Chains A and B, each alone.
Chain A
């Protein structure tokens, strides 16, 4: 791994607190600090991206919150998505001034990281033209949503490793009529998160830092 990349694992962290830490990290990278690759998980929360259609929430807000799921509006592209324990969140805080200042290329590299990650676990995933995120068959397994400030990225990937998929019944994930899947569901057993994190770091090394 390139020495100018800092990998941090924040463990289970409240979404709002995690967002605040992300923004501080973004500011540091804007000021010239090294790129960061952050791992974490969030307690159950629905995040509403900039393009959220209100109809993507299938229950009243009060009903959702009664089920212990927070709701938070966020400054990333895309519609609604869900984060919950067992879903590995990856926040690449990368200065795209060093990677060619091209959002499309960056998004495509994230897609490649996601597809190749799953291949490491013998899961054949695909990208579907016109749809961000990564799918196994027609089921979505990894969500992608990004924010960029002064060409420094934040937000990133939500990888369903051992996520409680029943929580996705609260929403139309990403505004799509799509079923969600997880590595656990496809493998038939829980997948050790530590192994996933190691493979994620390897894939970022391959696609971004080679």
Chain B
């Protein structure tokens, strides 16, 4: 199991909105592929899959805010 984490984006940035997911639950994903985009303060940040496997869960839906260091989804 591998967690998709919202990374550190900069000092003072504690959260970001998930603008879109590029994979659906149950889909195969490959390590390094662009899996979702987080938006903060007019900057869009592409997040990559940390591992190869199936996207098991999406913990932060499109339009919702995730916390830096928090789990956005799970790959199994």
A50-B19, A50-B20, A51-B19 given as contacts; is B41 within 8 A of A103 (CB)?
A: yes
Q: Decide: B34 and A149 in contact? CB cutoff 8 A.
A: yes
Q: Does B65 contact A (CB under 8 A)?
A: no
Residues of the A chain whose Cβ atoms lie less than 8 Å from the Cβ of B39: 50-51, 77
Question: Closest Cβ of chain A: how far from B12's Cβ, in Å?
Answer: 6
A102-B10, A104-B13 given as contacts; is B44 within 8 A of A132 (CB)?
A: no
Residues of the A chain whose Cβ atoms lie less than 8 Å from the Cβ of B41: 77, 103-104, 107, 132
Q: Decide: B43 and A147 in contact? CB cutoff 8 A.
A: yes
Among A66-81, those with CB < 8 Å from B are 75-78
Q: Decide: A103 and B9 in contact? CB cutoff 8 A.
A: yes
Q: Does A144 contact B (CB under 8 A)?
A: yes
Number of interface residues of B (CB under 8 A): 20
Question: Closest Cβ of chain A: how far from B61's Cβ, in Å?
Answer: 14
Q: Decide: A146 and B43 in contact? CB cutoff 8 A.
A: yes
Q: Decide: B43 and A103 in contact? CB cutoff 8 A.
A: yes
Q: Does B11 contact A (CB under 8 A)?
A: yes
Q: Does B52 contact A (CB under 8 A)?
A: no
Q: Decide: A77 and B43 in contact? CB cutoff 8 A.
A: yes
Interface centre among B9, B20, B44, B45 (most CB of A within 10 A): B44
Contact sample, A vs B, 22 pairs, CB 8 Å cutoff: A49-B44, A50-B19, A50-B37, A75-B44, A76-B42, A77-B41, A77-B42, A77-B43, A101-B10, A102-B10, A103-B9, A103-B10, A104-B12, A104-B13, A104-B41, A107-B43, A144-B42, A146-B44, A147-B43, A147-B44, A148-B45, A148-B46
Task: Known pairs A50-B39, A102-B11, A103-B45; list 19 more (Cβ under 8 Å).
Answer: A49-B42, A49-B44, A50-B19, A50-B20, A50-B37, A50-B44, A51-B19, A75-B46, A77-B40, A101-B10, A102-B9, A104-B9, A105-B11, A106-B43, A132-B42, A145-B43, A146-B44, A148-B43, A148-B45
Residues of A participating in the B interface, judged by any CB pair closer than 8 Å: 49-51, 75-78, 101-107, 132, 144-150
